[in-house]
Structure 1
Amino acid sequence: MPLHYFAVDDGTDLSDLAWQRGGYDVKGLTNLYTGDDARARLVLRELRRRVGDVTSMRAIGFCVSVEHAHYMARVFREAGVDALAVSGSSTPEERATALRRLKEGDVRILFAVDLYNEGVDVPQVDTVLFLRPTESSAVFLQQLGRGLRTSPGKAVLTTLGFVSHQNANFRFDTRFRALTGVSRGAPQHQAEQGFPFLPAGCSIVLDEVVQERVVTSIKRNSARAPPRSSTRSGRRRRTASRTSSPSADSVCGNCSAATARGRTCAAAPGRRRDRPAPRRPRC
């Protein structure tokens, strides 16, 4: 399924938000996102720009909390887009009804939290919104996968990621490595060049602000990481020491004949013998 991924600057600043156990404080994110109507309007504007007719889409938006999901659903309904909020606290009947209504087109978008990361088969989903920073590349791919199933009449998956000014600990490199499958170090060059080496029909578009933010973050995290070459050279040195020419301790004292490590020839019975010496004629 061709993928069109758009990363948009959402105008919010998370750099001073509490960072705990490898992620943002959920309450802080919720307060910021539910108190920012400008960000919600931006989401609607960019969605209409990239999708066109939002009344014909089937979308899932991943939110940071239950409050955030309900807030986004209300904003969309007020804008004339049928929307529902579902979460881990919703009853099984509510979740099943929401999915059925999305499949049938009665609802155009579900705003979810702690749901639909995996195990939900809705091939009709053609739009995915990332409305929260996702630190885990595995979770990011699981959420993205909700829209990658093929379905009749579905030509492409449109994905919008709304990117804030992140805490210095946030890792963009892992996300784009997961998204593109490139090796370590390659995401920086891909981001600088606009991701030119993608499968046919796929595109990743970063707006100018996001592109600068992503490249800066990748450079910063690359500088923190220990160079892999030092590990390789250490391995080479250890390998070389094992395969180098015999040392003085591996030479027969009687005849100066080279022997395997830990062995001596039969003419030097007093030397240490870690392993039995091979049968060989006396010198």
Structure 2
Amino acid sequence: MRAKKRQEAAALKSISANTGTSREENLFDADETWQTDEDKKERKKKKKVLKEKEKARKGTVGKVSYVAKDYNPKLEAQKAETFEDKVEKAVQAAGVHAAEERQKEIELDPSKFLELNTNDLTQVSSDFVEKMDQFDEEASKVINEAFKDDDVIADFEAQKEGVKEKERVKDIDLNLAGWGSWVGPGMTEKKRRRNFVVKAKEKKRKDGERNGLIIAESMTAKEGIGKIQPRSLPFPYSRVEDYEAVLKQPLGLEWNMEKMRDELCKPAVVVEVYFKLYLQNTKSN
């Protein structure tokens, strides 16, 4: 564009020279501030020379270091932080790379291992092994003496065999007492016929193959839990549902207040200490 303008300006100058028009008259508005690249370089050189002359005229001033009263190194360091440093700090605070750093800490370095310094025994007594054997024998003797009367397993097995024998179904003997029996000199007792004896069937017990367990199969409900079950509704309950609801209610402090817990766990009879002492004094008198 500028080259085109220069060509047009040169053409107009040649036309004005041929026609006799004055050079002072401008045929169009030209850009007087327009400069070429060479003009700009020349202008920069002139400015540089002027600056050097001005500097030489004023002289050089040495550097002076001073610290202001309100100088804070932390604030200055924060001001000097770049945007990348702030982003890195924010990422660390958010814990984005925490898992990776933790994994690096967990990883073991095979070149680093724990070294244990062991002190070898330089000398061992000749009777060391004998002393250890003697100590083991004495310890076993002490244990046997402490538990020689506590043969719990044998006692339990004997008790279990007694329960089995008691609950075992007996054979039924249908022979009549004295029937077919003759007494007197020269008489021999005849063997009883087996067909008059009804053998009981062996019943498999629930605790037969279980060690350390006795199940009383012959015990009825009255002999077992029936002893502690109530026969009738206690006062002041009139319905079975109400009494069962009270029994199902928990007694712990997690479900009841402390005062209510004490009321629920209150014993039927409370004996004060001074009452007991009073009875002792009356008996002595």
TM-score tier by shorter-chain length is: under 0.3
Structure possessing the higher relative contact order (Cα contacts under 8 Å, 6 or more residues apart): 1
The two structures have a TM-score, normalised by structure 2, of 0.16
